[in-house]
Amino acid sequence: MTESLRVLIAGNWKMNGLRASLPEFEAMLAGAAALAARVDLLVCPPATLVAAMAEKARGSRIAIGAQDCHVQVSGAHTGDISAEMLVDAGAGFIIVGHSERRADHGESDARVRQKAQAVWRAGARAIVCVGETQAQRDAGQTLDILRAQLSLSLPDESSADNLVVAYEPVWAIGTGLTPTPKDVEQIHGFIRDLVVARWPAEGKRMRILYGGSVKPSNAAELMAVANVNGALVGGASLKAADFLGICAACAWQSGFAQVLMFCVSALWRLGAGVSQGWRGGYGVGNPRIDRVTPRHLRQDR
């Protein structure tokens, strides 16, 4: 049985937002105070707003993150910003490897891995994005692409505490299209298997977010899928009403899931106890259900 992980809803403002956007953020802070405490909330504004928003968010339910960083601490890199600078400004998470950075700036998996390590060096948590393009999907290469991206972009030192994985199909970003819940389940299960194969204990606790056209109207359905531990939200994170609507849907969904898991686990324990009693004692039958190692893992690393 997979653990119930805390849900993380992360907003990615991309290259949007001026100081004039701060009242919208204040509306998010006000609305977030009423949300169930079991959901973690994060907003990643452009670098120019990190300090101002971190100041406003101090002591609130919303953490502040950033969208990218340079791999070096400091130096002759005109126009770049280091992870240390972002953390100094108030960022607790930094997104790396977003498909827009991979496409617009030619960022390789190796560079993404270095950036994740830079994030940790600075003391923040990395959100590493992976996802296939439409052409790769059409060619049936989705799992191969994800396997390669995850294998090469995630550093060996990854743990459940320093890393969040975001699965973002490129064709779903900003298009209004989303994969079916069945597709999401298959792909998140695939990602879970890969991280568990590489980090047997930590991999079970790593959060895997879904990203790509998440809205208040589809958030609960997506969050109900196994191994979806939150969302990375672009366009819909710019408006307080939409972002809070998504957060509320996810909070409700995760609360429902927790109650369901409690009931299933209670029933299962009862069943195991009855079965043990029936078999006449301890040590008979292992109640742990082992995962079958899928074939796709054989090629990994």
Say if residues 202 and 159 touch (Cβ distance below 8 Å): yes
- The C-alpha atoms of residue 66 and residue 11 are separated, in whole angstroms, by 10
CB within 8 Å of 139: residues ≥ 6 apart: none
Quick check: 212 binds ligand PEP (CB under 6 A)? yes
* Catalytic hit among 84, 100, 132, 168: 168
98 in catalytic set = yes
> Of 140-169, which residues contact ligand PEP (CB under 6 A)?
168
C-alpha distances in Å from residue 42, one per residue of 103, 206, 247, 283, 300: 24, 17, 10, 45, 31
Kindly tell me which of 84 and 178 has the beta carbon lying closer to ligand PEP. Answer: 178
Q: Name which of residues 58 to 87 contact ligand PEP (CB under 6 A).
A: none
Distance CA 28, CA 30 (A): 5
Size of the site for ligand PEP (CB under 6 A): 13
Residue 233 contacts ligand PEP per CB under 6 A:
yes
Name the minimum Å distance from CB 59 to ligand PEP: 27
Q: Catalytic residue among 98, 100, 132, 188, which? A: 98
CA distance 274 to 271: 5
Q: Is 178 in the site for ligand PEP (CB under 6 A)?
A: no
Q: Does 230 participate in binding ligand PEP (rule CB under 6 A)?
A: no
Q: Is residue 168 flagged as an active site residue? A: yes
Q: At what angle do helices 240-279 and 22-32 cross, to 10 degrees?
A: 30
- At 7, which helix (H) or strand (E)? strand 7-12
Report, in Å, the least distance between residue 8 CB and ligand PEP: 13
213 sits near ligand PEP (criterion: CB under 6 A): yes
Residue 214 binds to ligand PEP (criterion: CB under 6 A): yes
Using CB under 6 A, list all residues that contact ligand PEP: 12, 168, 173-174, 211-214, 232-236
